[in-house]
Structure 1
Amino acid sequence: MLDITLLRKDLASAVARLETRKKNQTFLNVEAFTALESERKVLQTRTEEIQARRNTLNKQIGPLKAKGESVDALMAEVNALKAEQESGSKRLDALQPELQALLMAVPNLPHASVPVGEDEHANVEMRRWAPKGGTGASATPLGFTPKDHVDLGEPLGLDFEMGVKLSGSRFTAMKGPIARLHRALAQFMLDLQTQQHGYTECYVPYIVNADTLRGTGNLPKFEGDLFAAKKGGQDGEPAPDHSALYLIPTAEVPLTNFVRDEVVAESALPMKLAAHTPCFRSEAGSAGRDTRGMIRQHQFDKVEMVQIVHPDKSHEALEEMATHAEAVLQALELPYRVVLLCTGDMGFASAKTYDLEVWLPAQDTYREISSVSNCEAFQARRLQARFKNAQGKNELVHTLNGSGLAVGRTLVAVLENHQNEDGSVNVPAALQPYLCGLAVLRA
């Protein structure tokens, strides 16, 4: 959530920064905000005036009573002022949730270093990497027409038909070699982030309440992208109301909420947390996109990194986290590039985001495999996540999150980049210990 003090001081500047996200799109209802703020100011000023007048009158009433003089007129005024003050206070209390509801739908302000643009075409490529000292995907050509991950994976146990049978479209089942590879990838990623980069391994619930999702910015705006978790009644009893429980779209949600309503010591920062979880997304806005294969699924696994840091350190942490995600791709010998997202392509809560895009030979293009974002104080303000600074005052932390990595998309990249002409797949050396030394996957 945006800092309401900033909006009160310089509304025009904040609106101008928001408008760089998309042309001709309204992110903040300025008229409604201005009306609520004007009413708040009037009520607050009047409340202060009333209290001052009541204090003056109360000081007069005692001495007048002691002299035996009538105080009826003064008491009548005091009572009238009290009624007006109570009415004003009641309206002030009602204004706060109205203002909050307005701001809950407003995205974060882009950082000054973010390029301005409408969509992905304005993103800026920062760097590329490929194995064997290359500078791009073309540095390691396969030497034959590549198969895509669907054709490679099905003989190895990737079962799309079973996924549809069990759940529906955009679900996948795995068995045999491909299931082992999927598990190995997740274990390797989690070990790398915890053992080499200092993250604390966490286990988190896969179902969370609405407050948890509001804290990270997934609610209320993106409720349509979530799966609600509901449970039927037992033994003839009515079903309990679980409409406010949701399957997590990413482990970022529970991990970031570890500090909700907390004041941590400055010495506890940075907090570096990681978890391997399934992720559940309805993909409400992606109908017809990537319907073949595993690129866009309703359920997928991910190793998530979250950092809770001092505000002065968050952009330094963002650069660090990008390299943590890159380390996975380099260890797996997967060509990739790092892209700085423009204002029109960033996520709702982000102030600045890097996307890592892995090379997929069968598609002859790069595809997103990780997003690493600095949300600055945007989530912390919703969460009331604070630390006690050197002056002894409570200050909002900054929160960051990133994929390290999406397991399913990494599986796709390993299949396609390490395939052989006969359809077998070479296992990257970093993964072989997790597969009992297996060097090649064969049907």
Structure 2
Amino acid sequence: MATNGNNLQVMGQAAKDAAYTIAQLSAAQKNSVLELMADKLVAATDDILAANKEDLAGDLVAAKFVDRLQLTATRVADMAQGLRDVAQLADPTAKIDRGWTTDAGLQILQQRVPLGVVGMIYEARPNVTVDAAGLCFKSGNAVILRGGKEAMHSNQALVAVLRAALAESSLPVDAVQLITNPSHELAGEFMHLNEYLDVLIPRGGAGLIKAVVNQATVPVIETGAGNCHIYVDATADLGMARAITINAKVQRPSVCNAAEKLLVHRDVAASYVPALVQDLRDHGVEVRGDARVQELVPDVVPATADDWDTEYNDLIMAVKVVDSEDEAIAHINAHNTHHSETIITQNINAGRYFQQRVDAACVYVNASTRFTDGMEFGFGAEIGISTQKLHARGPMGLSALTTIKYVITGDGQIRQ
């Protein structure tokens, strides 16, 4: 389907006009379009995979991120299923949060309304294209997507399918738009498109997110960067601790909810650290350790000061021995990115203490950090994982793409 090129003023106005139309649709109408989008994605699988093959051949993405970029027939089917799942979710804009009558006799309703136009800046993750479009459409928003050059062919193929479904439904195709010029200059202009964008959501590595937060004048929801920790308490079930650590580090090491750091209480360090290091190595993980870890496993790579602040997105893990839960909490709060942290313990009081004092969007007791995900939380899908505190925090589903409006009805009242 034709787009508006890369004239951001034209794209912004088109998105604003489309958002007005989309905001008026019923839940049934939106669900029908989402189902059509899903059908068309599956039907276009061969074309989408061919486009993705071009991106993979471009060799523009680091090897550790290839898994994010690569599409398969199963992954395309999963994206389609994600749209169907979103269609099954309740429409947040059909919700009245609360209502009351004032002393003056005014009837006030607080209701959910779309944000308007959402801007997305993201890297080599074609699935974000579909997730963002589906969630924005269901919540009544238009979206302008700016993916990375690494996934440009994939994103163009996916957006063409989504826009075709909108056209077939006699709806404005500019409810979903893609910026195809990957230049930094245009990205900078996008970050200052205040006249048209209601919010800007970056998804990617720490460098991308920092750049957007520092440069944008459009309101930003900070997402993604995950320097996540596991703390093994003195009372931990060590079998559970080893299983959770391996899962959180190894299952998908390139994603933001993978664990990057391991803190171990000194009382269990001697019995836990050597076995865990061997487990990690058996799974291809490079282990870096502080001085106390090096005493237990002399051939680990010495951890540097920079390691404690690094999100590896790779099969690397830094390990530190601590003297107490309070030391673990202080270390986490000093070095984390406010994403996901977990404690392994059999002492429920220690678990609750950890949850109350660790500053992060998601704080677990006896579970892998890998569960920080909109699908796992029952949101159907997610637009991102917010690591800030205003507007939204943690996995962001449909409700995070809405705001509130007060609707007031009177019968002639004037203020005295």
- With the shorter chain as reference, the TM-score category is under 0.3
Larger Rg: 1
| Superposition TM-score, scaled by structure 2 size | 0.20
| Superposition TM-score, scaled by structure 1 size | 0.19
